[in-house]
A and B are shown apart, each in its own frame.
Chain A
Amino acid sequence: MKKIAIEFKPISVIAGKEFWDRIRNRWVLAVAVIFTVFALVIAYFGAAQQGAVGFRGMDVTIASLVSLVIYLVPLIALILGYDAIVGERERGSLELLLSLPITRFELLIGKFLGLAGALSFSTLAGFGLAGVLLSYQLGATALYHYAGFMLSALLLGMAFLSIAILVSVMASDRMRASGVAIGLWFFLVLVYDLLLLGLLVLAEKRFSLSFFPVLLYLNPADIFRILNVFGFKEVRDLYGLATVLPAALASPWMLGSAMVLWIVAPLGVAVWRFK
């Protein structure tokens, strides 16, 4: 196969269509509103169980938000992306698209960028608005932490979107793609940590767990959690799990790179499988 130069115009046309489709059908608006409302509710009423109502400070708010985002963002990203390729295939429009002067690589990257744009836009707008509304109560450090949280939520979304695109490329029909997407969410977000905890309890008595931190890196949801947890001492104490991570592997740069790898790798496999 001869090498083909990449053209940017078809990428931007595909990305633009995906993005504006999500703006037009109010997907972006709906997700942004959900994020804003949740962030504000958690900030003011998160401590209601302890009998207190009102803003409790940024670190605790972020800790609660992390628990929410870790469920919500992967689910939203998977639902957003699972249809990207398999949907076109099932409609019959994929053949038409590929008969045009556009390569498979350009189509796939365009799809990813457009959807990633929509997801990023709603994440930033949703949590950003909440941040602005909270800002009068916050100092510079707290805002900095909040910005870090937003960025990590963004990366988490991209990682799961990348996984969703891979699912969409591999699946033979939409039904199967949605099934696999929900299954992956269930496993990575709900089951994986339980398995790790079980392993931890078992290992305490029998074998050493030097490879344990690696297992945390194998799940983007866990990377996200650690990224946010290690920022603040107060929050760190809330999570026993994070204490098993050696300092070297807990640096934000290491974690950030791992997250970027989680975005690039599934997309890379998707490009390869889409040939």
Chain B
Amino acid sequence: MAYNAIEIQGAVKHFGPTRAVDGVDLTVRTGELFGLIGHNGAGKTTLFKMMLGLLPPTRGDIRIDGQPVRGDAFREVRRRIGYLPESLALYDNLSGLEIMQFFARLKNADLASCLPLLEKVGLADAARRRVRGYSKGMRQRLGFAQALLGSPRLLFLDEPTNGLDPQGIREFYQLLRELREQGVTALLSSHILAEIQLRVDRLALMKTGKMQALGTVAELREALNLPLDFQLTLAPGAGESLQRALAGQPAASVQLDKDTAHVRCPREHKMALLHLLTNLEDSVVDLQIREPSLEDVFLGYSDAA
């Protein structure tokens, strides 16, 4: 029987009066690349720790690969999990290869896979050097290589691109795509939206312990119904006539700036506004329609809450 990779129902975690996670439902399908977005302190890391059995939930049910997160059965699930914690400092006195071998033994993974994995993340040359001399990016790469030990079916990556340079970020997502083609499920968190937007299948927005929204980028846009942004280039001195023409329009707001104007209008009035603007061809020289970005979606949800 095929299970969803992650199933969370009504998960709650209280630390004293603080509700770090406050009633979260989440399903991540097997083979999915899933992004968890939120500001620092939104509850992402707490949710990660609950899914890994590091923190018992105050309430709620969490299943990974169909198994509840406790007991001997979950120990078996752990062998198929790779985890990269948010802020990880590994043992400075060991070399990258030695650290890989240590974790491989604990995970019952093939020791011979350590070096190839280090090559995969671009650490082949540094494999035998002590971690003490590694840069922040190299440490993060080592952490990722460690998570890949034992060919995990499910990856939990908490802020995985922290400390990576743009080249490293590109390589990281390239590797993640290859893994997904092999059927690996990955849950990754980030607070950098632009980075994650085009690279995950679905994403969830988390704020103050709650899921604000969940779906593909298109679905999130749809659900929030953010206004479209018409960027107009105007003929000299045409601002007045534009404002007059739009005065009768119910849902459009106009922002004038010399010879350009921004008109925001709800999605359902798009055609009506286009029609009106084409009739103003003496005033409007050029026109661009901008879809709201995930950034706007994110801010929209943050403001709405």
Chain A interface (Cβ < 8 Å from any Cβ of B) = 1-2, 4-5, 9-10, 13-14, 17, 21, 24-25, 91-93, 95-103
Contacts and interface: CB of A to CB of B under 8 A. Distances in A.
Interface of B: 49, 52-54, 70-72, 75-76, 78-79, 81, 83, 85-91, 93, 102-103, 105-108, 146, 156
B235 to A, nearest CB: 60
A9 B83 CA distance: 21
A136 to B, nearest CB: 40
B145 to A, nearest CB: 13
Tell me if A's interface is mostly helix, strand, loop or mixed: helix
A96 B146 CA distance: 10
Contacts of A97: 106
A101 B107 contact: yes
B54 A95 contact: yes
Given A5-B72, A98-B54, A91 B49 contact: no
Contacts of A4: 71-72, 75
Contacts of A2: 70-72
26 contacts: A1-B70, A1-B71, A2-B71, A2-B72, A4-B72, A4-B75, A9-B105, A9-B108, A21-B91, A25-B93, A91-B90, A92-B85, A92-B86, A92-B88, A93-B85, A93-B88, A93-B90, A95-B54, A96-B83, A96-B85, A96-B146, A99-B85, A100-B78, A100-B106, A101-B76, A102-B106
A92 B89 contact: yes
A99 B93 contact: no
B45 to A, nearest CB: 9
A103 B105 CA distance: 15
Contacts of A98: 52-54
A100 B103 contact: yes
Nearest to A99: B83
A92 B89 CA distance: 6
B75 A93 contact: no
A99 B52 contact: yes
Contacts of A91: 88-90
Nearest to B49: A95
B102 A17 contact: yes
B54 A13 contact: no
